[in-house]
Structure 1
Amino acid sequence: MKRKKHTSADDDAQIDMTPMLDIVFIMLIFFIVTTTFDNSKGLSANRPPENQNTSEPSKALSIRIDADGTIHMIGRIVDIRRVVANTQTFLAENNTTSAAIQAHEDAEHGVVVDVMDQIKQAGIESVSVLVKKGS
């Protein structure tokens, strides 16, 4: 009678990795499906409707701010404290709801923000800011 050779315990003891891999893949699929992405970062653009027909273009208030902080408005140099009064004068003469600020890239941001605030105090809600590259 032949005797069977006993194999060592290390050869027979192996861990089956298949169930663990199944669980990992199921968890991965679960997290991919339930993840939501937030796209609210950045500025939102308010665009006019595409089918908007205007028979008469409105004249927008145009303001230019130079690199040294000089404010040009309605063809003349204006002090920062007189922006509200000049804007109200412009609104009395023109029917408009928008203003455009063309600021030099080296102009101080505080001056631009102050001008925007004063324009909104005068009654214009739609303010656009353009940056002019220095030359």
Structure 2
Amino acid sequence: MRRRFKKAGGDDAGVNMTPMLDIVFILLIFFIVTATFVRERGIDLVPPPPSEEPPVDPPPLILVQILENGTIFVNQQATDIARVGARIERFRSENPDSPVLIEPDPDAEHGIVVTVWDQANQVGARGVNIQPREQGEQGG
């Protein structure tokens, strides 16, 4: 049997990790202490006090209905697609602050809806919104 002899000084040399862990904890504490935290502002949920003035009636709505077959109605009057802007402008001359509601049928062509939207914006209508018509509603 052969015996193996260890060489002198052949001890396992290990790295002492304690100083490195101390430095890591010191850096962690340093970054936590020096970090700036963003304070987000909340929304004020207190309602304004009630006004003494009587409520003002809103201006009448300009309703643009687009049916499945491409027929367009502006305030219950059949209108050609090229004349929608002029018709909206005529109603706005009587009530300049009237909002425009475009109510397309779910099966109406998107190109017609976009054209009506563009014409309403070109005549300067504010508050142009699109709300799809429910399936059971009748048009015209």
Structure ranking higher in strand proportion: 1
Shift of 1:79: 1.7
1:101–1:130 Cα contact (<8 Å) kept: yes
Query: Are residues 1:116 and 2:117 paired?
Result: yes
Structure ranking higher in helix proportion: 1
Aligned pair in 2 of structure 1 residues 31, 54: CA closer, same or farther (>3 Å)?
same
Deviations 1:65-91 (A, max 9, x none): 233433221213222111012112222
**CA RMSD of the aligned region, Å?**
3.7
Give, in whole Å, the separation in 1 of the partners of 2:11 and 2:37.
46
Give, in whole Å, the separation in 2 of the partners of 1:132 and 1:29.
58
Unaligned runs of 5+ in 2: 1-8, 41-49
Query: Which entry has the higher C-alpha Rg, 1 or 2?
Result: 2
Runs (4+) of structure 1 moved beyond 4 Å? 24-32, 50-54
Unaligned runs of 5+ in 1: 1-5, 38-49
Q: Which residue in 2 is equivalent to 1:14?
A: 16
Q: Which residue in 2 is equivalent to 1:63?
A: 64
The percentage of counterpart residues that share the same residue type is 23
In the superposition, the TM-score normalised over structure 1's length comes to 0.60
Shift of 1:54: 4.2
Deviations 1:11-33 (A, max 9, x none): 5x322323224435755787784
